[in-house]
């Protein structure tokens, strides 16, 4: 029954990634969440280096056999978040690039039209 | 208006054909690397240049934005660069738009039996139609048909965000939201060996779906 805990945590993690994906990207809150996530990652990394047994203790608490297994689960979730975040940023960046390229195309067309009319 | 990407072997004929009936042919060169832009310009088209390749949806929106700067323009026709549309269809669609006071006329290859896309393409296209109707609330028989007549007041009311092929669903959605009168008109698509080879791959329909669902 204790296995349930890790399952609940992992499913919740995946759902959070999904919500993260559905949020409008590029906002300040998006950036803040990414940085908080990074900060948490660093703290946990340092803690598990200094106190390796802590990870195993935590793993046992939520129904995972070894600390290394828990690390793997966490890594998979972190990877999902990274992929989602990179995808969202890519979409926003492409939008900006399109607008920029369109402005260039239209500015060039306007200049050409002006010289055409004056001929 | 012809979105253009690497169609140098056929674009000159397409432009010349259009110029027989229309005063203004605008090609939006979407970063072609095979001299398509020069061929279109030599044939007499007004060519706009995307500095980089963005996709057909982006090219259409650039064309719309350009036409919006020309107050005299009343209708804009979107026409594929690969020569699969018939000029007669465009003229009939324009006549229909004028006589029935329609803001939008969509070309449809499924309103009669002239066009035979083949079984696989038919299944994919009909799925696309189903998705389009589901998301737009309009009842169309064809989706992703590049032939459209759009009155400029409707054109000014929309802005396409889908850079790639998903624009064909988005344009129906946004034109539908204008609540302006629209109609479908039966057209024939000429599936030449060239257009078949250039046509949309089956896998690209996966991209279209993801582009529409995940933004």
Residue B105 has pLDDT above 80, yes or no: yes
Residue A66 belongs to what domain range?
A: 3-118
Q: What is the pLDDT of residue A119?
A: 67
Per residue in A76-112, pLDDT (tens digit) is 888 888 888 888 888 889 999 999 999 999 999 999 9
Strand B148-151 and strand B75-78: the pairing is antiparallel
User: Does residue B136 contact residue B26 with C-beta atoms inside 8 Å?
Assistant: no
Helix (H, G, I), strand (E, B) or coil at B75: strand
How many structural domains comprise chain A?
1
Q: What is the pLDDT of residue A3?
A: 56
Q: What is the pLDDT of residue A51?
A: 85
Question: The domain that contains B61 carries what CATH number?
Answer: 3.90.550.10
Mean confidence (pLDDT) of chain A = 83
How many structural domains comprise chain B?
1
Q: Do A98 and B163 touch (CB under 8 A)?
A: yes
Q: Is residue B197 less than 8 Å (CB to CB) from chain A? A: no
What's the gap in Å between the CA of A98 and the closest CA on chain B? 7
ipTM score for this prediction: 0.86
Helices (H), A1-119: 3-22, 28-50, 52-61, 67-118
What's the gap in Å between the CA of A91 and the closest CA on chain B? 7
Residue B7 belongs to what domain range?
A: 2-213
Between chain A and chain B, the number of residue pairs with CB atoms below 8 A apart is: 39
Q: Do B54 and A101 touch (CB under 8 A)?
A: yes
Per residue in B138-176, pLDDT (tens digit) is 888 988 889 999 999 999 999 999 998 889 889 999 999
Per residue in A67-78, pLDDT (tens digit) is 888 888 888 888
User: Does residue A105 contact residue B62 with C-beta atoms inside 8 Å?
Assistant: yes
Of A5-14, A15-24, B4-13, B59-68, where does mean pLDDT reach its minimum?
A: A15-24
Mutate to test the interface with A, among B29, B32, B56, B62 (most CBs of A within 10 A): B62
Q: Name the pLDDT band for A31 (thresholds 50, 70, 90).
A: confident
Of A25-29, B80-84, B112-116, B188-192, where does mean pLDDT reach its minimum?
A: A25-29
DSSP code at position B178 = T
């Amino acid at each position: 029954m204790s296995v349930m805990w890790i399952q609940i945590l992992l499913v919740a993690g995946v759902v959070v990634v999904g919500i993260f994906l559905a949020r409008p990207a590029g906002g300040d809150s998006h950036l803040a969440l990414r940085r908080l996530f990074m900060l948490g990652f660093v703290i946990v990394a340092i803690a598990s280096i200094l106190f390796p047994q802590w990870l195993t203790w935590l793993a046992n608490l939520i129904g995972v056999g070894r600390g290394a297994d828990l690390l793997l689960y966490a890594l998979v979730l972190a990877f999902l978040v990274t992929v989602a975040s990179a995808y969202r940023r890519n979409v926003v960046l492409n939008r900006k690039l399109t607008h920029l390229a369109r402005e260039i195309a239209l500015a060039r067309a306007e200049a050409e039209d002006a010289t055409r009319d004056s001929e | 208006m012809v979105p253009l990407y690497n169609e140098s072997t056929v674009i000159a004929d397409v432009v010349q054909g259009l110029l027989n009936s229309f005063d203004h042919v605008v090609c939006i060169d979407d970063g072609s690397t095979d001299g398509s832009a020069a061929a279109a310009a030599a044939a007499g088209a007004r060519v706009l240049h995307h500095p980089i390749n963005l996709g057909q949806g982006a090219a259409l929106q650039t064309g719309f934005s350009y036409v919006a700067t020309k107050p005299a323009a009343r209708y804009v026709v979107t026409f594929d660069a690969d020569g699969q549309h018939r000029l007669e269809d465009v003229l009939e669609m324009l006549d229909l738009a004028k006589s029935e006071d329609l803001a939008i006329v969509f070309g449809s290859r499924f309103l009669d039996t002239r066009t035979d896309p083949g079984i696989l393409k038919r299944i994919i296209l009909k799925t696309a139609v189903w998705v389009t109707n589901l998301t737009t609330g309009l009842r169309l028989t064809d989706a992703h048909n590049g032939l459209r007549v759009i009155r400029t007041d409707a054109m000014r009311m929309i802005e396409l965000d889908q850079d790639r092929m998903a624009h064909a669903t988005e344009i129906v959605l946004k034109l539908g939201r204008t609540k302006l009168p629209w109609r479908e008109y039966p057209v024939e698509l000429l599936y030449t060996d060239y257009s078949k080879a250039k046509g949309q791959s089956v896998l690209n329909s996966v991209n279209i779906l993801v582009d529409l669902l995940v933004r």
